[in-house]
Structure 1
Amino acid sequence: MNMTVERGSGISLWRQIEETLAGEISRKLLRERLPNETDLAARFGVNRHTIRRAVQALEARGLVRIEQGRGTFVQEEFIDYKLGKRSRFSHSLEKQHLAGTSQVQRSREAVPRDEVCAMLQVAAGTPVLQVDALDVVDGRVIGVCTQYFPLPRFHGFDVIYKACGSVATALGQMDITEYSRKLSRISTRLPEAECAQQLGQPKSQPILYVESVYVDAGGVPIEYGITRFAGDAVQLLFEPEAI
């Protein structure tokens, strides 16, 4: 539907367009992906620069997200990630009836930095299994993961993990059914270029940087993981009685 803006009203054209689109988003008339700049420019009878400024204002309000190379999308509700003692991200997705999977990108035996060894309670210089994966929810990458598992206990774990797409499921297949979160450390920071590209966001947009240590029933560390979550997609929930 073509729609003209009111010129000479004292309200800038881009602001009128911003408010029109914001209203359509709130009324659920606009869902998922916004029309491209050319189509919106034709609809409102303005140039693409005016449309771009209106869309940037919507992004600043948190109503849309701009994914490089893909387009502009209406911002969905945040995914709740409960940092409980026995919960993982996959458990939070299941409770919210969201389709999620972890896609292993690469894995290797590596000698990590001393901090990683300390988290896993192994001697500095000890080789571990490093797995790099992407957390994908409903087709969107929302997390970039680097996970470390002690060796030799986890030899072959990456093959199982890649096949099932879930650390929790892979642990179960290795007869590790009882485990808990020993540590969570959360910070915000700007992503590195590769991470920003994988998340489909600009490098200037902060991410949630979540570090976690899991231990087995005997208190022995089984995983130290770092997940870089898209800050516009995930919110963290703390429930003290469950931590």
Structure 2
Amino acid sequence: MKLKDGIPRHVQISQWLRDQIESGGFAPDGKLPSENELANKFDVSRVTIRRALQSLENEEIIYRCQGLGSFVKDDRTPHSLVRLTDFNEDMAEAGLEASSRVLMFESVDAPQWLSDILNVAQGIKVIRIDRLRLGNGEPIAFDSTWLPILYGQLLDKDGLQDTTIYKQLEENYEIPVVRGCYRMSAELADQDLAGHLNVPENSALFLIDRITYTIGEKPVYYQKRYYRNDKVKYQMTLEREQSKRVNSPEMPLKEFAPVFIS
């Protein structure tokens, strides 16, 4: 697409994206093209694209998750899970005893896709941790987690059988986990996941991708958690504000939490 002279490029690009969103070209919660794709489309730098996206974010037309991209904001405020909890806290809430089997704890070279998420250089060493998460001794979920070496080297591998990354960082090193960005989807279990989770191969799993941050917007880890679909579902509670009109569509999200199925 050719841009016009006399109008700042980022303004034209943000207007084009705004028009596409308003006309339904991008669905609510739909992912926008990447910065590279937009830069190539308009033949501009990524700095210009970032300015255009920042403008739309300031107008609350889109929201962005570092490493995952930019998404169209719908009429609901994008909530993570209302409260940022860890696996053990979720298990305790469900009345189940949490434990984990640490299947991998080693340093690996960060691939390009991960370096963008964790804001580290490609090929630099990061810590990868694979864990089978159990409730009352039964497989509930499987996690693959990647951490910058700065945080990963602080963790006690044996301790992760009974505690969590959150707990070790916060209690042992006063490194708070303050924010999380989540994406939820479905994925079929491959042979390895099926074996770990004790489900048939190609069974549907509930996948949560999340990035968590500490103070200063520093990524602490990126995680892919695969829940057994027969063991967990998410329950939403909406609360209607009394001050709203009778026909108001706004219903603030009061709770969004996992419910574990026995």
The normalised TM-score by structure 2 is: 0.56
Alpha-carbon distance between aligned partners in 2 of 1:216 and 1:112, rounded to the nearest angstrom: 20
Aligned 8 A contact 2:179 2:212 in 1? yes
* Structure 1 residues 206-229: Cα deviation after superposition (integer angstroms, max 9, x where no partner): 001111111112221111111111
One-letter amino acid of the structure 2 residue matched with residue 127 of structure 1 = K
Give the aligned length. Answer: 162
Coordinate RMSD, CA, aligned: 2.3
Aligned 8 A contact 1:87 1:180 in 2? no
| Match of residue 211 from structure 1 | 209
* Structure 1 residues 160-193: Cα deviation after superposition (integer angstroms, max 9, x where no partner): 6435432222223432352133311111011110
Greater RCO (Cα-Cα under 8 Å, separation 6 or more): 1
Query: For 1:220-239, what aligned pairs fall within 5 Å after superposition?
Result: 220-237=218-235
Q: Structure 1 residue 106 and structure 2 residue 76: aligned? A: no
Query: For 1:167-182, what aligned pairs fall within 5 Å after superposition?
Result: 167-182=165-180
Q: Structure 1 residue 84 and structure 2 residue 116: aligned? A: no
Alpha-carbon distance between aligned partners in 1 of 2:138 and 2:82, rounded to the nearest angstrom: 24
Q: Summarize the Cα distance change of 1:162–1:179 in structure 2 as closer, same or farther, 3 Å threshold.
A: closer
Larger Rg: 1
One-letter amino acid of the structure 1 residue matched with residue 131 of structure 2 = A
Instruction: List gaps (5 residues or longer) in structure 2.
Output: 1-79, 238-252, 257-262
Q: Summarize the Cα distance change of 1:122–1:238 in structure 2 as closer, same or farther, 3 Å threshold.
A: farther
Displacement after TM superposition at 1:238 (Å): 5.3
Alpha-carbon distance between aligned partners in 2 of 1:163 and 1:100, rounded to the nearest angstrom: 9
* Structure 1 residues 22-74: Cα deviation after superposition (integer angstroms, max 9, x where no partner): xxxxxxxxxxxxxxxxxxxxxxxxxxxxxxxxxxxxxxxxxxxxxxxxxxxxx
Q: Summarize the Cα distance change of 1:170–1:104 in structure 2 as closer, same or farther, 3 Å threshold.
A: same
Corresponding residue to 1:93 among 84, 91, 94:
91
Corresponding residue to 2:128 among 123, 130, 135:
130
Corresponding residue to 1:146 among 144, 147, 153:
144
Displacement after TM superposition at 1:96 (Å): 2.1
Aligned 8 A contact 2:87 2:164 in 1? no
Instruction: List gaps (5 residues or longer) in structure 1.
Output: 1-81
* Structure 1 residues 141-170: Cα deviation after superposition (integer angstroms, max 9, x where no partner): 111111111013431414364354322222
One-letter amino acid of the structure 2 residue matched with residue 213 of structure 1 = I
Aligned 8 A contact 2:155 2:165 in 1? no
